[in-house]
Structure 1
């Protein structure tokens, strides 16, 4: 579909994004048009209704499209627009997950994971049918699109796909119990915001009981709107908390750099300094110090990545 659209759009003045090959944009002095393609589903956004109409005619001539009208439902995402901004959720998808797991009538949980839970790939009875667990975790990972608060536990449980055990399934059902409490929970993107990128990065040092790898977590905001987040296990075992902190900060910086490149690609100027917040003063001191000592030289590459790209600030984890 993307290749067909490319051949169709060349004479129409559209530009294919280098940061997201499924995105096509066209900007003139007065209008901006964006087209996003996912297999045979297409989204169109513009500040001109006439530009949208013209684009629909062009696409219909080539592909005989079905016009679904204003965006309300797309790939499991429910979208609601107002003067205040755009709200996204996956309520229908969440309820379907609960129904498939026979948990529609379950008691809601206050948190997505028991804070005292210590999951291991060696403890617990192996599941006879691991496909059920794998399907459930895959569905929960897709729910992360609008529910960032289940990202950590969802990615943690995805580490046990090869040989899932009963405690892993119980933890996955705990996520569903948490979702039951607020199936309509989602994201809000305000129409009135300051174009300023701010990110927060943190790490849980040596958190994996099997490999002693650290867990990185970050979130990126444009203004007050959350636009990107992730939680994943670091590929390298860190020998100190500061090393793991700096690796987490470097990962967050890479995400910010991609986001800035994406904004440039769609001709959106971002002049303010990008901010990265961390709760560790020592990591910030290393970022500001150009002299590498024996104990920190093994993270020199990450230090340069962070220092050259981002302004570092301290934030307390406790009020």
Structure 2
């Protein structure tokens, strides 16, 4: 790999050709051109940046669920919906899930209806964004009506581009909203 010393970042075509040739001597590579599709992700480049989405997968998912012609939903979930395993009607048509309820099924269908309205939504990585890393976190204290556990959510941005996000029920029960927020901050910091 000594041949690759002095690699520079940029779009110098001669330098790129030299690197490809050096890689080919070691690994026998094939140049497939600009990336357009990889592991189910569709990639589109422009001068403004890179757009990544899963449009093909979204349409296949809707087709498999029989919802390709359904009416789109404006949001992925109704935030007024509270799930409870003790105060709901069991959903008996699915196996291998722990106590599903009809509200879970309704929520899953709503997510698919949301996808129907925007199958090409994805992540955009701007070509002129800053390299400033920032993170936001929050918690919803005691939101689980069954366990009283809080839910933590966070997102991490490089400039204006989202690079990581997660929402998860906290492992322990917080005694106050302040404690739940502190745990959320700790969880978000662990992913930075």
Whether TM exceeds 0.5 here: the answer is yes
Corresponding residue of 1:129: 94
Corresponding residue of 1:248: 184
TM-score by length of 1: 0.55
Distance 2:4 2:139 in 1: 40
- Tell me: CA distance 1:254–1:49, structure 2 relative to 1, closer, same or farther (3 Å): farther
Secondary structure in structure 2 of the residue aligned to 1:48: helix
Give CA-to-partner distance per residue, 1:264-305, whole Å, 9 cap, x none.
Answer: xxxxxxxxxxxxxxxxxxxxxxxxxxxxxxxxxxxxxxxxxx
Say yes or no: does 1:186 pair with 2:122.
Answer: yes
Alignment check: 8 A CA contact 2:142 2:148 kept? yes
Task: For structure 2, list consecutive stretches of 5 or more residues without a partner in the other structure.
Answer: 10-14
Corresponding residue of 2:6: 29
Give CA-to-partner distance per residue, 1:10-65, whole Å, 9 cap, x none.
Answer: xx26xxxxxxxxxxxx9843336xxxxxxxxxxxxxx72431343244222xxxx6
Alignment check: 8 A CA contact 1:204 1:214 kept? yes
- Tell me: CA distance 1:53–1:188, structure 2 relative to 1, closer, same or farther (3 Å): farther
Query: Displacement, 1:66?
Result: 6.1
Corresponding residue of 1:213: 149
Pick from 3, 22, 43: which aligns with 1:54? 22
TM-score by length of 2: 0.88
Secondary structure in structure 1 of the residue aligned to 2:77: coil
- Tell me: CA distance 1:69–1:239, structure 2 relative to 1, closer, same or farther (3 Å): same
- Tell me: CA distance 1:233–1:56, structure 2 relative to 1, closer, same or farther (3 Å): farther
Total equivalences in the alignment: 187
Distance 1:56 1:70 in 2: 17
- Tell me: CA distance 1:66–1:29, structure 2 relative to 1, closer, same or farther (3 Å): closer
Corresponding residue of 2:138: 202
Pick from 74, 95, 106: which aligns with 1:170? 106
Distance 2:20 2:99 in 1: 49
Task: For structure 1, list consecutive stretches of 5 or more residues without a partner in the other structure.
Answer: 1-11, 14-25, 33-46, 132-160, 257-319
Query: Displacement, 1:253?
Result: 1.1
Matches within 5 A, 1:1-319: 12=1, 28-31=5-8, 48-60=16-28, 68-122=32-86, 123-130=88-95, 161-256=97-192
Query: 1 or 2, which has the higher helix percentage?
Result: 1
Query: Displacement, 1:128?
Result: 2.9
Bigger relative contact order, structure 1 or 2 (CA pairs below 8 A, ≥6 apart): 2
Alignment check: 8 A CA contact 2:154 2:166 kept? yes
Query: Displacement, 1:83?
Result: 1.6
- Tell me: CA distance 1:66–1:48, structure 2 relative to 1, closer, same or farther (3 Å): closer
